[in-house]
C-alpha cells in the first residue's frame, strides 16, 4: 500500500522546541506535510536532554521521539541574514508554527504581522503556556507547572496522600494533538475561503480540556477532589479503583453495576449494596478490599471478565507489550538512524483505510538540509557559503 500523504503539498515552517511543538509538527509530517524545522545555531535543547538520560550512540531518544518526517535547517535568527532567510521560508510556506515565549517571535521580526507582510495568506499557529495577554505572557508554561496550577495533580491520588502528577507529560502531548488539529482545520478553512489566519492554543486551556468530565461536574455544583473513600475518583460510584490481590499484584475495577459484581462474585455480603453504590462508597470499597485479597490477579481477571465486570490487571510496559491485543494492533515500528542505529518508536496512532503514513526523514542531523532548503528558497551556492562563513546559518558537517 502506497504511503499516505494527506497533507502533500502543504509546507510548514516550524520554530518549535521541547515536546508540544515538535510533536505537533511530527503529526503534520506524518500526514505528508513538508515540515521544515528551523533549529537555532546553538542546537536544540532536545538534542542534549533525554528522559532517564536515554541516549543511543550519543543521540537523544527525546529528540528522536518528536523529529520524524521533518527536514532541518540551522539559522541564527538574530542575525540580519538569518532573519532574511527565515522570512524567505515564510514567504513560500503555507503554515508557520511556533511555541516560543509570548512575544519572542515578534521581537525577532517574525511574528504574525511580520509573516503576513511577506505572505498575506499565511496560516500562523502559536502555542503558549498561558496565552498572549498581559498576565499570561510572562508566565513559564511547562507541563508539571500546569498540572499543579489547574487542579490536575490535586484530583489525582488519594485524600490521605499528597497530590500526584500524572506519570507522563500529558498536557504537552494533548497540546501537540490540538496543534495538528488546529493547523489542519485552518488549512481546510483557507481551502474553502482563501483566508489565512492566526491560530492559537495555550496549555492552560489544553489542561482544562483534558479534565472536561470532572471539571464540568465541579463547575456545576459538585466539588471534585482526591477521594477519601479509597476510590480512584471521587465522582464515580463504588467500586472504582485499584485493589490488591492475593499474589501482591493489583487489579482495577471500573464502572460496572453492583448487581453484576454480586452475580459474578457470588458473595452474599454484596447483596445489601446492589442499589447503594453511590451512597455507601466507603463501606463498599472496604468490602472489596477484603474480597479481592482472596484470589490472585489472574484469577480475578478471568472470573470477573467472564461475569461482565470491567477489570484489568495493572501491568508495566513489558507486560503490555506481551499482550496478544498489542501484537494484533502492532502500534510500534523499528526505524534506522544513521548514528543511533535501530530505534523502536510508536507509529502514527490513526489508521486510514486509504493508506499508511510513511517515514521520509527520521531525526535529521543538525543543519542536514540547510543547503537544500536555502536553494529551494532561491539562494545561490555563493550566497549560502557566505552565510555559513558568517555563521548566519549552519550546514551539516560532511
What is the structure's pLDDT at 39? 97
What is the structure's pLDDT at 60? 97
Lowest mean pLDDT of 98-107, 168-177, 304-313, name the range.
Answer: 98-107
Express as a percent the part of the chain with pLDDT over 90: 83
3-state helix, strand, coil in the chain (%, to 5): 40, 20, 40
What is the structure's pLDDT at 138? 85
Q: What are the structural domain ranges in the chain? A: 11-210+348-394
Segment 335-349 mean pLDDT: 96
Asked if 177 contacts 169 with a C-beta cutoff of 8 angstroms, the reply is: no
> Which residue is associated with the grid cell 464502572?
255
Q: What is the per-residue pLDDT across 209-219, written as a single tens digit (0 to 9) for each?
A: 999 999 999 99
Which residues lie closer than 8 Å to 27 by C-beta, 6 or more apart? Answer: 176, 177, 179, 180, 348
What is the structure's pLDDT at 71? 98
How distant, in Å, are the alpha carbons of 83, 157, 328 from that of 321? 46, 26, 11
Confidence band of 101 (pLDDT split at 50, 70, 90): confident
Q: Is the pLDDT of residue 297 over 70?
A: yes
What is the structure's pLDDT at 235? 66
Q: Is the pLDDT of residue 237 over 50?
A: yes
**Model pTM?**
0.93
What is the structure's pLDDT at 93? 98
Q: Is the pLDDT of residue 234 over 70?
A: no
| Three-class SS state of 146 | helix
Confidence band of 229 (pLDDT split at 50, 70, 90): low
Q: How far is Cα 19 from Cα 24, in angstroms, rounded to an integer?
A: 8
Q: Is the pLDDT of residue 312 over 90?
A: yes
Segment 359-369 mean pLDDT: 96
Q: How far is Cα 33 from Cα 354, in angstroms, rounded to an integer?
A: 17
Confidence band of 1 (pLDDT split at 50, 70, 90): very low
| Three-class SS state of 155 | coil
Superfamily (CATH H level) for 11-210+348-394: Crotonobetainyl-coa:carnitine coa-transferase; domain 1 (3.40.50.10540)
Q: Is the pLDDT of residue 2 over 60?
A: no
What is the structure's pLDDT at 44? 94
Amino acid at each position: 500500500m502506497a504511503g499516505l500523504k494527506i497533507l502533500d503539498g502543504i509546507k510548514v515552517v516550524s520554530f518549535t522546541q521541547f515536546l508540544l511543538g515538535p510533536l505537533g509538527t511530527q503529526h503534520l509530517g506524518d500526514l505528508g506535510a513538508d515540515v521544515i524545522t528551523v533549529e537555532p545555531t546553538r542546537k536544540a535543547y532536545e538534542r542534549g536532554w533525554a528522559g532517564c538520560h536515554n541516549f543511543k550512540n550519543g543521540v537523544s531518544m527525546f529528540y528522536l521521539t518528536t523529529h520524524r518526517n521533518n527536514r532541518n535547517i540551522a539559522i541564527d535568527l538574530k542575525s540580519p541574514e538569518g532573519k532574511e532567510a527565515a522570512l524567505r521560508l515564510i514567504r513560500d510556506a503555507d503554515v508557520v508554527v511556533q511555541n516560543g515565549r509570548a512575544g519572542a517571535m515578534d521581537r525577532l521580526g517574525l511574528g504574525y504581522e511580520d509573516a503576513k507582510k511577506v505572505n498575506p495568506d499565511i496560516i500562523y499557529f502559536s502555542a503558549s503556556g498561558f496565552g498572549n495577554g498581559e498576565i499570561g505572557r510572562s508566565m513559564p508554561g511547562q507541563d508539571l507547572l500546569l498540572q499543579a496550577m489547574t487542579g490536575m495533580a490535586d484530583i489525582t491520588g488519594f485524600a490521605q496522600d499528597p497530590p500526584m502528577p500524572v506519570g507522563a507529560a500529558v498536557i504537552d502531548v494533548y497540546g501537540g494533538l490540538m496543534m495538528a488539529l488546529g493547523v489542519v482545520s485552518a488549512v481546510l478553512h483557507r481551502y474553502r475561503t482563501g483566508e489565512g489566519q492566526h491560530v492559537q492554543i495555550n496549555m492552560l486551556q489544553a489542561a482544562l480540556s483534558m479534565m472536561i468530565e470532572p471539571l464540568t461536574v465541579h463547575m456545576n455544583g459538585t466539588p471534585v477532589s482526591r477521594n477519601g473513600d479509597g476510590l480512584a475518583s471521587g465522582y464515580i460510584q463504588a467500586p472504582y479503583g485499584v485493589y490488591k490481590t492475593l499474589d501482591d499484584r493489583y487489579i482495577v475495577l471500573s464502572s460496572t453495576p453492583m448487581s453484576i459484581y454480586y452475580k459474578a462474585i457470588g458473595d452474599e455480603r454484596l447483596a445489601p449494596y446492589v442499589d447503594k453504590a453511590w451512597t455507601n462508597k466507603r463501606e463498599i470499597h472496604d468490602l472489596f478490599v477484603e474480597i479481592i485479597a482472596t484470589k490472585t490477579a489472574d484469577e480475578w481477571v478471568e472470573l470477573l471478565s467472564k461475569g461482565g465486570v470491567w477489570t484489568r490487571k495493572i501491568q508495566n510496559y513489558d507486560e503490555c507489550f506481551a499482550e496478544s491485543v498489542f501484537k494484533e494492533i502492532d502500534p510500534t515500528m523499528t526505524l534506522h538512524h544513521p548514528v543511533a542505529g535501530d530505534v523502536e518508536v510508536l507509529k502514527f496512532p490513526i489508521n486510514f483505510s486509504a493508506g499508511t503514513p510513511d517515514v521520509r526523514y527520521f531525526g535529521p542531523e543538525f543543519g542536514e538540509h540547510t543547503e537544500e532548503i536555502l536553494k529551494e528558497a532561491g539562494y545561490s551556492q555563493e550566497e549560502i557559503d557566505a552565510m555559513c562563513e558568517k555563521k548566519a546559518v549552519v550546514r551539516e558537517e560532511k
